[in-house]
């Protein structure tokens, strides 16, 4: 679906588009008071159905519960635009996400481990609050103004004890655990940890663990995750303990 027009939000001045996904667009605005740049995530459509509104409120509430953690993007406000599209106002991270960063220049071992440890702390904090992320990947780790990694996009997150069969439809195949892709589970603490490990691999290799460097269909990629042996990162400076 094509991006929608940025909404006219009272108290904010639109600056530019930051990105878009399957269900929402993210824009850069300047908040008038306090004066600061913020990222605003806007749903593509009005939250006309109970399911759409519940999913958006779920993301807002879960991010708000966790956003005081230094490794999780801070949420400021939730509202509904004049055109009835719900929006979420968040901390603006001006740098690229770690997906682009690692593809352009794979991280040093020390930096990859530093990022991995800090994101692990964020994931563990979510798990302690009985919240699963379900989509940990480099593109969901942003680089803050102060050079720190921060986890974002809890859009398909859910409670550990909840049933969320539809959630698995939103996972990113290259970073999803095999048991999620084969339908054994819609996600648990272990599958979040798998995705965290796959993320650290990508920070080191500049590609997802089962990438071949060539375009793959979703079916072929799922087959590789389920059946292919994991290739090493190919870096001589990565110790064998980390490869394991």
- Give Cβ neighbours of residue 81 (< 8 Å, ≥ 6 apart): 7, 8, 9, 42, 87
* Alpha carbon 84 to its chain's center: 25
Residues annotated as part of the active site:
134
Q: What is the pLDDT of residue 56?
A: 74
Q: HEC states along the chain?
A: CCCCCCCCCCCEEEEEEEEECCCEEEEEEEECCCCEEEEEEEECCCCCCHHHHHHHHHHHHHHHHHCCCCCECCEEEEEECCCCCEEEEEECCCCCCHHHHHHHCCCCHHHHHHHHHHHHHHHHHHHHCCEECCCCCHHHEEECCCCCEEECCCCCCEECCCCCHHHHHHCCHHHCCHHHHCCCCCCCHHHHHHHHHHHHHHHHHCCCCCCCCCCCCHHHHHHHHHHCCCCCCCCCCCCHHHHC
Residue 76 has phi, psi (to 5 degrees) of: -105, -45
Q: Taking the chain (244 residues) in consecutive chunks of 10 residues, what is each chunk's mean pLDDT? A: 81 94 88 96 75 75 84 90 90 94 97 98 93 93 95 72 50 94 93 97 97 92 96 95 93
Residue 4 has phi, psi (to 5 degrees) of: -85, 175
Q: What is the pLDDT of residue 166?
A: 38
Q: What is the pLDDT of residue 34?
A: 95
Q: What is the pLDDT of residue 62?
A: 77
Q: What is the pLDDT of residue 163?
A: 53
């Amino acid at each position: 679906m094509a991006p929608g027009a940025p909404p006219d939000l009272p108290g904010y001045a639109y600056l530019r588009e930051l990105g878009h996904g399957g269900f929402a667009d993210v824009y850069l605005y300047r908040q008038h008071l306090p004066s600061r740049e913020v990222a605003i995530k806007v749903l593509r459509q009005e939250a006309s159905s109970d399911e759409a509104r519940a999913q958006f409120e779920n993301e807002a509430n879960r991010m708000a519960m966790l956003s005081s953690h230094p490794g999780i993007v801070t949420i400021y406000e939730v509202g509904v635009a004049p055109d009835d599209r719900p929006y979420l106002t968040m901390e603006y991270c001006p740098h690229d996400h770690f997906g682009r960063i690692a593809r352009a220049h794979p991280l040093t071992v020390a930096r990859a481990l530093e990022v991995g440890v800090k994101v692990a702390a964020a994931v563990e904090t979510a798990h302690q609050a009985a919240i699963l992320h379900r989509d940990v990947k480099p593109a969901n780790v942003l680089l803050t103004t102060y050079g720190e990694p921060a986890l974002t996009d809890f859009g398909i997150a859910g409670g550990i004890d909840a049933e969320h069969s539809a959630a698995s439809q939103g996972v990113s195949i290259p970073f999803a655990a095999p048991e999620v892709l084969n339908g054994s589970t819609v996600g648990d603490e272990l599958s979040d940890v798998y995705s965290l490990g796959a993320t650290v691999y990508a920070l080191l290799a500049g590609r997802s663990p089962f990438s071949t460097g060539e375009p793959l269909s979703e079916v072929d990629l799922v087959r590789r995750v389920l059946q292919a042996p994991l290739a090493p990162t190919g870096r001589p400076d990565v110790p064998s303990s980390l490869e394991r």
